[in-house]
Amino acid sequence: MKKTVTFYVLLELRDLEFLAQNNFRELPFNEIPYAFKQKEIEIFAERLKQFKDNILITANVECDIDKFKEYRESHPDENPTESGGLSETQTNTFNYSLIDKIKIENVFGKNLQNYENEKILSILEFEKRFFEFRLKVFLITNSREIISHDDFVSPIVEKQDPENFTDEQIKQQIEEVIEEHERVLKKAKERTATINSVEEAVEFLINEDLDQTKLDEIKNKSLVTRFDDCGEHFGYNMYLRNVFIYPNKNQIFLENLRNYNSHYVTEMGEFGEGIIEDLLWRKVNNCETTKDNSNKIEKIQKQIKEGLEFDSYWNLTIKMKLLSYNLNDNEIESYLKLENMEENDKDNFDEYYYQKKALLARLNEKDRQTFERLKQDYFNIQEVINKLKQKP
């Protein structure tokens, strides 16, 4: 594990504009104030805001300590700044040893809704989306993927010279892609015409239809994805609808799909394709409901038929879904508690929302620490944005 050292800097609009142009991966040489502790830079910001109309942003700069020492030892700082801010050499040292991104911490100013507000917000909103997406990807992947700092940077695409292709050639390329897609779909449909059950459909997908890359992709989807309301409706489920549902005239299969009850499923999809997708995920991830949990679900379903208050019904519905994915009693109790706090404490909604996802992801101690760090990166910039949007 890398040894690191973290510094805290105080930024103005011109600094943020430079950071935005450089993907928050490089500080400008503007004699930027810095400190070794977050509290120190915030005390300085509080004092400075009394004498400036500018909006001030604090951020942290985490550096690889070995690279930091390497650069500092080979580049003596012979021109320190009179202001005490970062010299050019110090700035270059930070940039050379920076590990990830320069991360927003807090905001200060006499008037946060001044003429700089709109420009700063536009910069931070884009950066916020990166940290939100990074946190999401970490939780929905079993590999605990942490997307790189340059994932949101638009790649430089080499433009093709239109003179290299005639209209006829372009038309032919499009037709070839369509024909290949139709050929693959036709082959799959010919095979699926003899499939009579959801289980057979999934066995076909695993053993005949999906390549290893697609199977690995499904295996890497964590339990968190099972609780995503959007699901796969416009993704893989679209393919399942085309292959298994329309224009499938196999009434034996369609009847089996309509009456499927081997697993408790809430996201059935438009025509039942969600049932197939759910069983596929369960098979690939070895997460078919245990007999004991299936019995518990049956008891709850009988209880629901007797009539319940809405809140009780909702909690039991969630409990059945959690049981179907084999969460234990302690995990279910914790999840329902977070669900209740999320509903009743709107000020901390995001905290409970992500803690629920972390519970579903079943993080080990190391991954839990990473989750808390990624969550805080996102929460920090979100809080700064909220302050900038708050009306005086």
Q: How far apart are CA 354 and CA 361, in angstroms?
A: 10
Cα–Cα distances (Å) from 69 to 34, 66, 86, 90, in that order, read: 18, 5, 16, 11
Residue 177 is predicted with a pLDDT of: 66
pTM over 0.85: yes
pLDDT band at 229 (very low <50, low <70, confident <90, very high): low
pLDDT in tens, 330-374: 999 999 999 999 999 999 999 999 999 999 999 999 999 999 999
- The secondary structure of 7-67 as a DSSP string is EEEEE-HHHHHHHHHTTT----SS---EESSHHHHHHHHHHHTTT--S-EEEEEEEEEHHH
pLDDT in tens, 207-226: 998 999 999 999 999 999 99
Tell whether the model's pLDDT for residue 83 goes beyond 90.
no
pLDDT in tens, 17-36: 999 999 999 999 999 999 99
Residue 2 is predicted with a pLDDT of: 83
